[in-house]
A and B are shown apart, each in its own frame.
Chain A
């Protein structure tokens, strides 16, 4: 998830101060990402350096500066939006490596680990379901969409655990 393009995209809607764009970015992500204001200013400065945004007018009261998107910024954003995500699949959670290692050191007896992990995933699904219901009730469409994505991912993780439980990933993978 890109802070750079996130800020750029929000500035396309209208010129904003650093604090405003931070707040809108956090609101769009429904509280799943709290951004450091320093990081926002650094990002805006780099966007300015690269000619993608520019200050709109002079510093206002309390030294606040409005930023607006340049033509180059609009173009860069459109290209980014049109670009499919084609990089490698990211498997960042520990569980992926944990299961491989456990298969080696536990002589393939992964039963307890798999069932504990499945419970954790079920609890996660429940938390996500509740968050989705809350987001929908409060009309927070962006958050509801994000949660839906997370629900489907967790469902896939459960399917993986179920497959491993059925077939076992014992010594033969060594």
Chain B
């Protein structure tokens, strides 16, 4: 496993294995909105590909938003890369989101008046990194959308737009890639390609947290599946991946009277 150092400044160059720790999280919404959390604790290690699975309104997206620093818990603490997000001011929190978290949503949220490459480079420009354009072009190459670099989002397929969104999420080399139903707006084929891409990123060391309601998707590449229901974690399963013979997985047979 590629244990990359966390990049938010606190732990530059220090190897950590635990990337995320949630402790006794509750999240209460005024007016009884769905998605509340009630006593959630969990940890994610560097290099893991974890799926958080649950029906809509179960709180799984809330969980992701808390880890991304997009939302604050009512009680409990969110530690990411050794930093307590609840103790960060607004400016450091914005830096944390920009530098350490890559976020991919169901809908691609690309800016329509910018080209593909310009969209990808936004987070890098906010950060002020040198050499971002070369890296952006590399990413587009890697995601096999180099040829559309100068086109506008409206002229791309859904699958291509999601790959642009993934490139944008990766431009600042985030420690953690969060994907919230990343295939939800795509046809099966494009969805498969996006999932394949996530698997390749994981193979190269990227820590990924995938949120989905779809059990088929959750178990496809993630070796760990956390089930969320009614704001609680009801199961945390680590799955095995041995290469099994077809007959160990499926049996097509019935006793037959001729």
Contact = CB atoms under 8 A, between A and B. Distances in A.
B250 A32 contact: yes
Contacts of B252: 1, 29, 32-33, 146
A122 B220 contact: no
A10 interface: no
Interface string B52-80: 00010000000000000000000000000
A123 B248 CA distance: 12
Contact of B247 (A3, A32, A152, A158): A32
Interface in B215-258: 215-216, 218-221, 225, 227, 229, 234-235, 237, 239-241, 243-254, 256, 258
B227 A118 contact: yes
A146 B250 contact: yes
A126 B221 CA distance: 8
Contacts of A133: 220
A147 B250 contact: yes
> For the complex, would chain A's binding face be called helix, strand, loop or mixed by DSSP majority?
helix
Interface in A106-140: 115, 118-119, 121-131, 133-134
A1 B258 CA distance: 13
A158 B251 contact: no
A70 B227 CA distance: 55
A122 B256 contact: no
A65 interface: no
Given A43-B258, A122-B237, A165-B234, A31 B245 contact: yes
Contacts of A146: 250, 252
Interface string A148-172: 0011101100100010011000000
A129 B218 CA distance: 10
B256 A131 contact: no
B216 A125 contact: yes
Interface residues of A, number: 41
Contacts of A75: none
A13 B248 CA distance: 29
Contacts of A151: 216
Interface centre among A33, A43, A134 (most CB of B within 10 A): A33
Contact of A123 (B239, B253, B256): B239
Nearest to A151: B216
Interface of B: 55, 215-216, 218-221, 225, 227, 229, 234-235, 237, 239-241, 243-254, 256, 258
Interface of A: 1-4, 29-34, 42-43, 46, 115, 118-119, 121-131, 133-134, 143, 146-147, 150-152, 154-155, 158, 162, 165-166
26 contacts: A1-B254, A2-B254, A2-B256, A3-B256, A33-B251, A33-B252, A42-B258, A43-B258, A46-B258, A121-B215, A123-B239, A126-B220, A126-B239, A126-B240, A129-B219, A130-B241, A130-B244, A131-B249, A133-B220, A134-B243, A146-B250, A147-B249, A150-B250, A151-B216, A154-B215, A162-B229
